[in-house]
Homo-oligomer: A and B are copies of this chain.
Amino acid sequence: MSQTVDRALGILPLLARGPADLGRVAESLGVHKSTALRLLRTLHEHGLVYRQPDQRYRLGARLIALAQEAVESLDVRGIAHPHLLALNERTGHTVHLAVREEDEVIYIDKVESRYPVRMYSRIGRPVATTVAAVAKLLLADLPEEERRATAARLDYPRYTARSTPDAASFLRELATVRAQGWATDLGGHEESINCVAAPVRGADGRVAAAMSLSAPNVVVTAEDLLALLPLVRRTAEAVSREYAGHTPRQGSASRKDAPR
């Protein structure tokens, strides 16, 4: 809506892929160098962008600090954390907590596996929406209409042979997940990694977050992991109770629909 801001913000994802000099930035934006310079200076003043000794620009510390505050201010996270720790304590596996936002799902907390094998994931990293167990739970909770629209918008990368191939089968999967109240990912993202997940619900009964237990084949079989499902569900329910209690400020879902 605002051209200037739009351009300025366009610089950020650009720099996220690595440092760039003024020329590159200007070129990528399709603007004159002087314009790019002005925008970069403004971003710099706010600390979102940092100028390296070699004159190139990269994302700045303030951005990282902001993001940090952002995740920490999510109250589900604080409530769930001790439960995640306990779950890790009892099972030894990697525990994740994720929330949805628009079409994206991101991890907002993680407790590492006790086993030497580490998974490739990070707090703040967007989740593979079409295959991850937590993502299925979060999307399955959307109202029918929105669920279909979202499914249509998504890409369906074939990470492995068992990845969700297209919107149709994704919607079918979501229906199942919705009905059973839990989800799995059996090698859909990385061949040898399995995952079981359960939803955290808010005071209004809607799914506010999802937690999962992940482990590679080499540590436990899919069946053994599934045997832990009841524990995961109980934990998620415990978090739900606490979260719903802590959040009466949801109240009357306000306007039925965001106007326009």
Question: Which chain A residues have a beta carbon within 8 Å of chain B's beta carbons?
Answer: 1-2, 4-6, 8-10, 12-13, 15-18, 38-39, 41-43, 45-48, 50-51, 53-55, 58-73, 99, 101-102, 104, 106, 108, 122-126, 249-250, 253-255, 258
Contact = CB atoms under 8 A, between A and B. Distances in A.
Contact of A13 (B5, B60, B66, B106): B66
B69 A67 contact: no
Contacts of A69: 16-17, 59
Contacts of A43: 5, 9
A186 B174 CA distance: 54
30 contacts: A1-B41, A2-B38, A2-B42, A5-B39, A5-B42, A5-B43, A8-B8, A8-B9, A10-B46, A17-B69, A50-B101, A50-B102, A53-B253, A53-B254, A54-B249, A54-B250, A55-B254, A55-B258, A58-B73, A59-B70, A59-B73, A61-B101, A62-B104, A63-B66, A63-B70, A64-B106, A65-B106, A67-B67, A68-B122, A68-B123
Nearest to A54: B254
Given A64-B71, A101-B50, A1 B38 contact: yes
